[in-house]
Structure 1
Amino acid sequence: MGKSKTKGQREKPKGFDLKSLLLGSPRETTVPGSRFPNGTQSLVPVVDIRQGVLITEDGRYVKVLEILPTNFYLKSRIEQQNILYYLSSYLKIAPPSLQILVTTQRADIDAYCAQMERYYNTETNEACKEMIVEDVQLVDYLAATEIVTRRFYLIFAYTGAASELDDIARELAEQAETAYQYLDYCGLEVLRHDRYDEFLLKTLYTAIHKPYTSQVDFTALLSQIGPVCGASDIPAEELDDEDADGMTTVQDVLAPTECDLTHKGYLLIDGVFHTYLYISGYSYPTEMGPAWLSPLVELGDGISLSFFLDRKRKEQVLPKIAKTTMLNRTRLRDVEDTRADYEELDDAISSGLYIKDKLNREGEDFWYMHTLIEVTALDEETLNRRVQQVQNLCASMNMTVRRADWCHEQGFRSMLPVARLDADLAKKSKRNILTSGAAAAFPFSSYELCDDTGVLLGINLHNNSAVIVDNYDTDQYSNGSFAIFGMSGAGKTFTTLLLALRLRMCGVLVFIIAPEKGFEYRAACEAIGGQYLRIAPGSDDCINLMEIRRTTLDIDSNITDNVQRSDSVLLDKVQDIHTYLRLRYPEMTPEESYQLNIALLECYESFGITKDNASLLKPDGSFKEMPDFTHLYPFLLKYPVLKNVALAVKELIDFGMGGQTNVDLTSSFIVFDTSGNKQQDISSSTFIATSFIRDETSRSRTRKKAVFGDELWLIAGNEGNEQAADFVIELAKTIRGYGGIFVSATQNTMDYFALRDGKFGDAILNNSRFKLLLQMEEPEARKLQEKLGLSEEEVMQIVRCGRGQGLLCAGKSRICVEIRASQLEYDLITTNRADLEKREAKESAI
């Protein structure tokens, strides 16, 4: 029944146990009162979890806070200084001993894969199902080879005088609230878990069991703790000895199945190799830059870090510093300046005087810091390679890192989130530091944007975490709209179409408006079973703008017990036609405008359609036949004042754009290619698409929708029309209320902000929670710096980006992302000439 430690295949003579000779024999019982004195439970120093507090075997009470980091390196210099200032302020009032734990492991993609499995099972289009499989395979490959996730914890123990658990838990909660406040000033969010005991159990479990599996039910695991016989509500202290022996303890559920502690260079726990390293106390450089600990945090998979801080009282430290400085001065008088230790003594004196001055005059506190590094792997070769990676990085930072040979069990215990560092490791890794220096370590600088569900964008270039965004999660994001900017060749169209395809895989209704190079969208659209429409003179595709596709303007008409409004759908459609014809004939006078309304109403009335919405339907509930521009033309000729309007309509009819709808508009993925029009006609052709999309998106608020607008500055710029621009702006502003998102993309930032001193661009930007800034020239990056408040570091990051890389802004959070696609997606989307040439040659060979 017990879990046991493995001591090797062959029992060694005790006299030849080198570890025992050097360090002494291991104690037989590591857990007082344990039912299995020599079991793996001895590796778990926590005996209970109550009221959000860990209770350790040595009688301490520990609080664990989980922290969401920030992207420190992309902050401006002033922002960085403010962050470090507020962190220093917190350290002055924080508990005297702190542990900052950063764990790294392979990303958990189970939730993402489960989501895609649901979409696969409900998808009816075989082409889309094939792409879903490709997408899951890509994510699975990235999770196995590249993407990692990190968790950040702040841990401290209770140091007060209370003896009752209720009082201790309350005081620790108050200290946690103080941490919430000050860390918020630093731009850090402390997560407030609803089921705190379950969170603590999960934190401990993932620290002990590597690799962690998300299939563990921690609610069920927590419920197992307690008596296995009798009523579960009986307190443990009231059980007799026989019943107490049947208790399932925290140590039982957390303990590993097996462990091998006999090796010099590592531990072997449940088949996973663990080794521990520490930075030698004497090897830290005298001066370090801000966030100097971050490179160690971002080393990669299987490398975690624990940073300990221990504050000492000034009255305890100052006399020792004064005495040591005085002795060093005395020794210096007897040392010639040519001796090797002269500079060492001189530096020690200067350091002592510096510390005294900072403690006495500038309000600094004296701390000891310790840095412990955990490296894990599934095989010894990978373990050694990762250890070498740590050693190389530390050497490049002028620090010496050493393996804790024969002390890895102590290292394992010290890495657990219990704010307790082994005394021997503490002695070897101890280095004094002041409050400002401790704050400058700032390990919370590895921001991740990885929602459980949503669409995969790519890889976070800062820390190799996955970038998965759920645009429709209203709890996290005020809106899910995207604004994409990038120079020609930066990957703007590729990114836009990749996002559209992945949204379609997730069951989202996707519309794409392409006023420029719309042909680039055709292959992917048809491959996923979508509808590609070319709206231009001479095209075989035609959409009847005069066709009414709704029976009500009331979007909530399908909600039970909701009184349906009777606003006229016909008058709304007349207004759309009016706007469209004004785009074709901008010189329309007020008289022509008024008479046009009359002609339109007469045309619809000839088909039995009036302002009454009921007149739209036949007795069987289907729509009546709708007029088109060929039917409107005779009504226009009746009024001489509409002569010029009639000419504009006649031109539409002659070019094949005035007839009945002859394409399937029920597809879940529709591309409107308006790039075949002349510059002066692009606005009107694009308006046909936006008018149809507005009708479709306003049918329901429950279905997810996405509208993509590529190069919509062609509507809003010098060649465009303000009315059409207003229509697009209104769509971008209101689409969130219809359960949708708006994705705009452009490679010409200057033209994007051309209309009305930037009204169009500002409106789109302000209604986009996400901004993806791909590679661009510095002048355009400066324009966005002005609009988005980017720092100099962020501007330079945008300019230096490679193809398919960019700065993703999600509110105040900014990360550098590299867009990733599967091979199938890449082949469908790429516009690279060389790739297209290879594909053409391959198809020709077949």
Structure 2
Amino acid sequence: MKLRNRSHTGVRNRQSRRLAAAVAPASVEVTPRFIRVGDGYAATLVVTGYPAEVGPAWLEPLLSWPGRLELALHIDPLAAPVAAARLRDQRARFESSRRVDAGRGKLADPVVEAAAEDAADLADRLTRGAAKLFRVGLYLTVHARTEDELLEACAQVKTAAASTLIEVQPATWRHLAGWSTTLPLATDSLQMRRTMDTAALAAAFPLASADLPAPLPGDPPTEGGVLYGVNPDSQGVVWWDRWAQENHNSVVLARSGAGKSYFVKLEILRNLYQRVQVAVIDPEDEYLRLADAVGGTVVRLGMAGVKVNPFDLPTGDSRPDVLTRRGLFAHTLIAVLLGEQPPPAERAALDRAILTAYRQAGITADPATHHRPAPLLRDLEACLHGDDDPAARQLAARLAPWVHGSFSHLFDAPTTTRPDGHLVVWSLRHLPEELRTVGILLALDAIWRQVDTPGWSHVRRLVVVDEAWLLMRDGEGARFLFRMSKAARKRHAGLAVITQDVADVLGSDLGQAVVANAATQVLLKQAPQAIDGIGGAFGLTAGERRLLLAARVGTGLLISGTSRTSFEAVASAAEHELCTTRPSDLAHLDDEEDL
């Protein structure tokens, strides 16, 4: 029996050594001012002074500091007899100081008077059992990549602490002990303690705020942004600026009826106030009332007389590779029309036909020819028929439904509508289901031609793709959307992807890449069948999952990096009239218009 226990102990020791070798830093260098752990630097600050009074979440300025900061709070309860004895001694010292000052004819020290009153009040609460005393040590370990960055980070943390009257001092010559103290080992190697009562200690919790972190003291105030809503937990205002993030993209994921289009329309309206130009892909005519109210332009794809020529060249773009880029888009369009990437022989024939069609229309690489009318899809098919390669004729036959058949009405004439204005809505409601994906691609291409035009990079543009699952289910369409999400930031544009089919977005590598390239992520109410996928993709806690499962309409979670907060969209009466799609609200508005 003893041998077996030794064997098990040896196995555990070997497992512990292997774990330590895997997760421990390669080396630790100790200096008076900091320690170097692996490739980074760290320094520990000890809280030595506390404010006389604290309010709820008094540690928030430290917890919301944007850098890497490890905060450790070591708490040891004091036994009631020990606490009473120490408090009695403290009160005796205060009383002795007051009597000495009175005997010498000195005025009373206000600091001593306040401390004596606080001690008397604490003694009274301690006697009645309304409070307890604790020995508390508060330590902060700041991490940085270089020594200079560490010094600057420590200065910022000291400033943040000073904003709430907290005094901190570096653990000079004891940074190794400080670093180990802030590790999750439940060991206080510094033993720099301060006695606190229950109320002061409870005010330090929870260790995370429900609101987004505020700017650090001394930082310039933030400008811009729009109102997203109100935090239902703290009643704080959720104000967010997508244009101040590392990229301007966003994703909105929610089940049907959760209020995602309502929320997006509010954001569009509030961005229009700030001179942002917005283009919307609208599959269900949900944005027409908004467009009509603000004087926007509506392009109704599928309606009689509305044509879009995918071979149009960008207006005002004189770059030498314009024709090449239009040819590459033509390849993407044909792949979407056919539902697959053509075989290599057909792709080669298609490339020849594209160049021939432009050449026959009098358009070459010379920018002076780019104002001429662009060829149509039927011109491309004629070039394929004129090619001696059998693969070209095969491809022409496959394109027949889009040139002469049931799907030809969208491409059989030059473009009839110029999509200009501060708000352009591309309506897809009148397109057959078989043409929805193609319609989204054509609209996105027309939008991208405007975004990519040189000389307009100073204008902020927001591209909204509602029901993006229609495009994500097609490989070429998903790749086009991914390329736009990657390149939009360099052109001062943002891509907003909205979808109710979470599986189509998170179930593919391209969909996950689109989500990963969105600095602003909004999750509204989710279906129980999708919550596991959503929770795994966004690292949701159990409480956040419950929030999204039981969320009311328009209530959700805003996520950006390590910052996340819940919010409830709020709107004025005028905004609600423009954004609502609830049948009862629309019927009421129609009745008022009739009156």
TM-score bracket, normalised by the shorter chain, equals: 0.5 to 0.7
SS at match of 2:298: strand
Aligned equivalent of 1:715? 471
Aligned equivalent of 1:500? 268
Question: In 2, are the aligned partners of 1:449 and 1:466 still within 8 Å (CA)?
Answer: no
Q: Superposition pairs for residues 473-552 of structure 1, below 5 Å?
A: 473=244, 477-514=245-282, 516-517=283-284, 519-536=285-302, 538-550=303-315, 552=317
The count of residues paired between Structure 1 and Structure 2 equals 442
Q: Superposition pairs for residues 505-654 of structure 1, below 5 Å?
A: 505-514=273-282, 516-517=283-284, 519-536=285-302, 538-550=303-315, 552=317, 566=320, 568-586=321-339, 588-616=342-370, 623-639=371-387, 640-641=393-394, 642-651=396-405, 654=408
Cα distance change, pair 545–151 in 1 and its aligned pair in 2 (3 A):
farther
Aligned equivalent of 2:423? 669
Q: Superposition pairs for residues 364-443 of structure 1, below 5 Å?
A: 365-369=193-197, 437=201, 441=205
Q: Distance in 1 between matches of 2:310 and 2:503?
A: 32
Question: In 2, are the aligned partners of 1:708 and 1:744 still within 8 Å (CA)?
Answer: yes
Q: Structure 1, residues 547-601: CA drift from partner, whole Å, max 9, x if none?
A: 11145475xxxxxxxxxxx3x2112112212221222224644333322333332
SS at match of 1:689: helix
Structure 1 unaligned blocks of 5 or more: 1-89, 105-149, 155-178, 189-277, 289-305, 312-357, 372-432, 555-565, 617-622
Aligned equivalent of 1:247? none
Q: Distance in 2 between matches of 1:310 and 1:725?
A: 53
Q: Distance in 1 between matches of 2:213 and 2:53?
A: 21
Q: Distance in 1 between matches of 2:485 and 2:377?
A: 29
Q: Structure 1, residues 36-77: CA drift from partner, whole Å, max 9, x if none?
A: xxxxxxxxxxxxxxxxxxxxxxxxxxxxxxxxxxxxxxxxxx
Q: Distance in 1 between matches of 2:243 and 2:330?
A: 32
Aligned with 2:209 (options 426, 445, 450): 445
Cα distance change, pair 286–741 in 1 and its aligned pair in 2 (3 A):
same
Q: Distance in 1 between matches of 2:300 and 2:382?
A: 27
Aligned equivalent of 2:593? 843
Matched, 1:466 2:294: no
Q: Distance in 1 between matches of 2:50 and 2:354?
A: 79
Q: Distance in 1 between matches of 2:297 and 2:188?
A: 75
Q: Structure 1, residues 745-776: CA drift from partner, whole Å, max 9, x if none?
A: 1122123223xxx2132111100111111111
Q: Distance in 2 between matches of 1:811 and 1:187?
A: 23
RMSD over equivalenced CA pairs, Å:
3.9
Q: Distance in 2 between matches of 1:646 and 1:571?
A: 25
Q: Structure 1, residues 153-196: CA drift from partner, whole Å, max 9, x if none?
A: 68xxxxxxxxxxxxxxxxxxxxxxxx9899822499xxxxxxxx
Q: Distance in 1 between matches of 2:506 and 2:68?
A: 37
**Amino acid in structure 1 at the alignment position of 2:484:** L
Aligned equivalent of 1:741? 494
SS at match of 2:556: strand
Q: Distance in 1 between matches of 2:429 and 2:133?
A: 59
Question: In 2, are the aligned partners of 1:628 and 1:660 still within 8 Å (CA)?
Answer: yes
Cα distance change, pair 750–647 in 1 and its aligned pair in 2 (3 A):
closer
Q: Distance in 2 between matches of 1:652 and 1:696?
A: 30
Q: Structure 1, residues 114-152: CA drift from partner, whole Å, max 9, x if none?
A: xxxxxxxxxxxxxxxxxxxxxxxxxxxxxxxxxxxx996
Question: In 2, are the aligned partners of 1:483 and 1:765 still within 8 Å (CA)?
Answer: yes
Q: Structure 1, residues 209-264: CA drift from partner, whole Å, max 9, x if none?
A: xxxxxxxxxxxxxxxxxxxxxxxxxxxxxxxxxxxxxxxxxxxxxxxxxxxxxxxx
**Amino acid in structure 2 at the alignment position of 1:748:** D
| Aligned-residue offset at 1:612 | 2.5
Matched, 1:725 2:478: yes
SS at match of 2:278: strand
**Amino acid in structure 2 at the alignment position of 1:184:** L
Question: In 1, are the aligned partners of 2:313 and 2:374 still within 8 Å (CA)?
Answer: yes
Q: Distance in 2 between matches of 1:509 and 1:359?
A: 56
> TM-score normalized by structure 2?
0.66
Aligned equivalent of 1:30? none
Cα distance change, pair 815–281 in 1 and its aligned pair in 2 (3 A):
farther
SS at match of 2:458: coil
Cα distance change, pair 359–512 in 1 and its aligned pair in 2 (3 A):
closer
Q: Distance in 1 between matches of 2:294 and 2:338?
A: 38
SS at match of 2:272: helix
Per mean C-alpha deviation after superposition, the further-off stretch among 488-497 and 680-689 is 680-689
| Percent identity between the two aligned chains | 22
Question: In 1, are the aligned partners of 2:471 and 2:478 still within 8 Å (CA)?
Answer: yes
Q: Distance in 1 between matches of 2:268 and 2:567?
A: 18
Structure 2 unaligned blocks of 5 or more: 1-42, 74-120, 135-162, 169-185, 215-221, 388-392
**Amino acid in structure 2 at the alignment position of 1:774:** L
Cα distance change, pair 647–183 in 1 and its aligned pair in 2 (3 A):
closer
Aligned equivalent of 2:225? 454
Matched, 1:768 2:532: no
Aligned equivalent of 1:682? 436
| Aligned-residue offset at 1:507 | 1.0
Task: Pick 1 or 2: higher relative contact order, CA cutoff 8 A, min separation 6.
Answer: 2
Question: In 2, are the aligned partners of 1:653 and 1:659 still within 8 Å (CA)?
Answer: no
SS at match of 1:745: strand
Q: Distance in 1 between matches of 2:250 and 2:299?
A: 24
Q: Structure 1, residues 506-541: CA drift from partner, whole Å, max 9, x if none?
A: 111211123x42x111111122111122223x5432
SS at match of 2:397: helix
Question: In 2, are the aligned partners of 1:100 and 1:152 still within 8 Å (CA)?
Answer: no
Per mean C-alpha deviation after superposition, the further-off stretch among 582-591 and 790-799 is 582-591
Q: Distance in 2 between matches of 1:829 and 1:180?
A: 36
Q: Distance in 2 between matches of 1:808 and 1:600?
A: 45
Cα distance change, pair 553–100 in 1 and its aligned pair in 2 (3 A):
farther
| Aligned-residue offset at 1:705 | 1.0
Aligned with 1:780 (options 527, 530, 546): 530
Cα distance change, pair 551–792 in 1 and its aligned pair in 2 (3 A):
same
Cα distance change, pair 660–543 in 1 and its aligned pair in 2 (3 A):
same
Q: Distance in 1 between matches of 2:55 and 2:343?
A: 69
| Aligned-residue offset at 1:820 | 1.2
| Aligned-residue offset at 1:825 | 1.6
Question: In 2, are the aligned partners of 1:585 and 1:648 still within 8 Å (CA)?
Answer: no
